[in-house]
Structure 1
Amino acid sequence: MGERVHVEINAGIAEVRLARSEKRNALDRAMFDALIEAGEKLKGALGVRAVVLSGEGHGFCAGIDMRVLAEMESGAIAGVSHLASRTHGICNRFQYAAWIWREIPVPVIAAVHGFALGGGFELALGADVRYLTPDARLAVMEVRWGLVPDMGATQFMRHLAREDIVRELAYTGCEFSGTEALAYGFATRLTDDPRSMAFATARQIADRSPHAVRALKRLFNRAVIVGPEAGLIDECIEQQALVGSRNQMETVHADREGRKPRFEEVSSATATAVASSADAHHGQAAWQ
């Protein structure tokens, strides 16, 4: 990850910080690679219960580095010339820098201050939850450079905001505030200190059964790509794996005894087994 992205894990909470503040955390080849490396590290990290995604300096992320824009005359973006080639599952490298936060098996909370523009906005959309300052500046601004959003925004936005709002923002490239983002559906909550709120929520999540939280993320991820019949079966598969399990019963015992639960951590084998059960039932790849 080098100097672009810093990762710190403490008490089950991982903070991923974009650390290129002198360039407004702009996205260049090294930043894309660092974000993916950080996400891959956390996908397999045992004991992590939640992730906080934030940016150092005056804002979250200003989007694509202007130097990368200047190099596009060759027909490539940051060295990639065949954008439709799938190099990371269903994604290319740029898309995966935002999409990987959905594949991380625990909730990801984006803490956005200052600005999240273009690719920076798309990066925030990859999180499960987004806390913004009221005066944060956001934009689907790719059209300003004669481009379209290419980090998954068209997929993320359609589940959050009205179609006409999404189209207007993308067609015009105009900026909007954190307050407007809340009204549109892009922000979860507004606060003057998104990072503190993100950690407060992460601590709440960390106090819940890690098996149940991971099951919830799998269910919500699949809910946007399967129909009601398959989704209801997904609930049953996840619930069957939880009922009577050690962590599920620990929540009951702890409540009766008036103490904090002592949960068993999730093993990679357990997580894979449950996802594979849903995969086998539907005969399709599970989006973990």
Structure 2
Amino acid sequence: MHQYQSLKVEQQGAIAHVMINRPAKANAMDEAFWTEMVQVFDWVDQTDSVRVAVISGAGNNFSAGIDLTMLAQAAGDMVQDVGRNAERIRRNILRLQAAFNAVDECRKPVIAAIHGYCIGGAIDLIAACDMRYATGDAHFSIKEIDMGMAADVGTLQRLPHLIGDGMMRELAYTGRAVYGDEAAQLGLVNRVYADHGALIEGVMDIAAQIAAKSPLAIRGTKEMIRYSRDHSVADGLNYIATWNAAMLQSEDLKLAVAAHMSRKPAEFAD
């Protein structure tokens, strides 16, 4: 397995466990993080033996968001020309967005296991995941507003689909903290666990359940959910009809039916 500077990646059977690995810095997202996320999730997407990914944080936190030294460095790179500064900033924002687009666009389901701080850029990250689970003491905050800026890496675009427009506006305008139980009530996380150990155990069990299903069916389901989020019902129904015109001819369908009839688990090819 490739060694990364800001991430630690392990493949456990069909599950890729991606850990943000800067515990001494509360897993703040440094320069290397943004490049490595694209690389790791390209690997997850392209590796057939990986069927699902889990993202967690090493140490006491999921992530405290973007490393502020990156912002300071960006400010130091400014030149006299406003137009060139604007172009440089825009290109950099698009580069950071690509890190979380890689999660959203990955063909495999991605599950976030959240404990401790999950603030600023970490909210952008978990909003790009398929599902989110947390400990009761997990601390969520759209912190960008307290930094004098609008969140620009996906929170404002993805979070309304998870918790609704009105609540997203409240959290984005105030920056107030939300903890595990309230996050579950809002629909931000699916379930709350007593502690970090129980969280990882529970999330890995869910990941294993997903990994046992037909990988074609799982990837098709994710594709349809993502497409339907951004298109009309009519467009989504048309797309699934075209998709399944091909996918219903897969051997996985026959294996699944046979397994159901025999009451034995199916073994699907990668």
d(CA) in 2 for partners of 1:60, 1:13:
19
Higher alpha-carbon deviation: 169-178 or 109-118: 169-178
Name 2:269's counterpart in structure 1.
Answer: 264
Does residue 82 in structure 1 map to residue 88 in structure 2? yes
Which runs of 5 or more residues in structure 2 are unaligned?
Answer: 79-84
Name 2:234's counterpart in structure 1.
Answer: 229
Q: Is the 8 A contact 2:53 2:109 kept in 1?
A: yes
Tell me how large the CA RMSD over aligned residues is: 1.9
Q: Over residues 200-251 of structure 1, what are the superposed CA-to-partner deviations in whole Å (9 max), with x where a residue is unaligned?
A: 1111011111110000000001011111111001221222223242011001
What TM-score do you get using the length of structure 2 for normalisation?
0.90
| 85, 103, 106: which one aligns with 1:104 | 106
SS of the aligned residue for 1:92 comes to helix
Name 2:29's counterpart in structure 1.
Answer: 27
Matches within 5 A, 1:1-288: 2-74=4-76, 82-85=88-91, 92-192=94-194, 193-265=198-270
Q: Is the 8 A contact 2:14 2:211 kept in 1?
A: yes
| Aligned AA (1:170) | A
Q: CA deviation at 1:68?
A: 2.0
Higher helix proportion: 2
Q: Is the 8 A contact 2:8 2:20 kept in 1?
A: yes
SS of the aligned residue for 2:162 comes to coil
Which runs of 5 or more residues in structure 1 are unaligned?
Answer: 266-288
d(CA) in 2 for partners of 1:182, 1:215:
27
SS of the aligned residue for 1:221 comes to helix
Q: Over residues 47-103 of structure 1, what are the superposed CA-to-partner deviations in whole Å (9 max), with x where a residue is unaligned?
A: 211111111000100011122233343476xx9963434x8xxx8121122221111
SS of the aligned residue for 2:268 comes to coil
Identity of aligned residues (%): 31
| Aligned AA (1:180) | E
Q: Is the 8 A contact 2:123 2:142 kept in 1?
A: yes
d(CA) in 2 for partners of 1:176, 1:264:
42
d(CA) in 2 for partners of 1:46, 1:120:
27
Q: CA deviation at 1:156?
A: 0.9
What TM-score do you get using the length of structure 1 for normalisation?
0.84
